[in-house]
Chain A
Amino acid sequence: MKNNEAIETVKEIRAMMEKSSRFLSFSGTSAILIGIYALIGAYLAHGLVSPVTQSPYTNGISTGISIYTLMLLAVVVFVAALATVLLFSYRKAIKNRTSFFNNQMYRTFLNFFLPLSAGGIFCIALILNGNVGVIAPAMLLFYGLSLINASKYTYDNIFWLGCAELLLGLVCAFFPGKGLLFWTIGFGILHVVYGVYFYFNIDRKRKSVEA
């Protein structure tokens, strides 16, 4: 056995362990699209929430109408984002001839949605109690934690996206009234940046290997 051969073998073992234990059907394009949905959502929201952002501690009752419209908008953005991720991941799984509904996928989604659902319910409680000013940091924090949690079962680099969201959420918490701005950076711009990075470093590389 030659040296190169041994190194090659170790590499193969590593690759096989990685491939079989992680959910690798994620596509960079979907992250870019999510970012764009969030940017559109934020633009639309900007018109709706001007009174909220101007006075961060506004009681929920006085801004009742815009808050519910805003919630609806957030739900629409969220559903569109989720559908996009599922669709693109499913397509990538088919393209790579791997199954989409496998253990790794269930584990990734479970570990992502568990903290995220808790965050979602927490945000609903915040809205009902009229704590509108802390919703944006709470969303960013819980989203960041969900990403970090899920990163163990999928691409490592999602960990860094999670950290960035977490950091942004913390900074946001110190700037009441700037929630929408931080929300736009976190859910819009960071996703686009991450998606572009992912596309050039992972999607494209994979294509060139296959070619």
Chain B
Amino acid sequence: MITHLEDINKAFESKVRLGIMSVLMVNDEADFNTLKELLGLTDGNLASHTRALENLKYIKAKKQFVGRKPKTTYSRTKEGEKAFQDHLQALEAFLKNNL
């Protein structure tokens, strides 16, 4: 049981980060406002979590201008996809062992 717990990714302990990854797993990309809306967060809150995931190289950001407004679009990276899948597997294993 302890070995499975080790596989559970610390980065995904936060519900917000897990939420961001969940959205980006089923959508190739999502912009900042969409994520904000889906997760029900404030700008600052979401920004700090996306930055954390960016630093881990789990997601990547693309910045562009739509008219005069900046628009940031996020997408998952290979590493992020792997980390998320490992996390899910660890959760699954944990549940199996405890049932």
Contacts and interface: CB of A to CB of B under 8 A. Distances in A.
Interface of A: 1, 3, 6-7, 9-10, 12-13, 16-17, 19-21, 97-99, 102-103
Given A7-B95, A21-B26, A98 B19 contact: no
Given A10-B91, A12-B22, A20-B34, 17 more contacts: A3-B98, A3-B99, A6-B91, A7-B95, A9-B91, A12-B15, A12-B19, A16-B39, A17-B23, A17-B26, A19-B38, A20-B22, A20-B23, A20-B30, A20-B38, A99-B37, A103-B27
A3 B15 CA distance: 16
Contacts of B19: 12, 16
Contacts, number: 51
B56 interface: no
Contacts of B94: 1, 6
Interface in B50-99: 88, 91, 94-95, 98-99
B47 interface: no
Contacts of B91: 6, 9-10
A2 to B, nearest CB: 9
Nearest to B19: A16
B11 interface: no
A13 B22 contact: yes
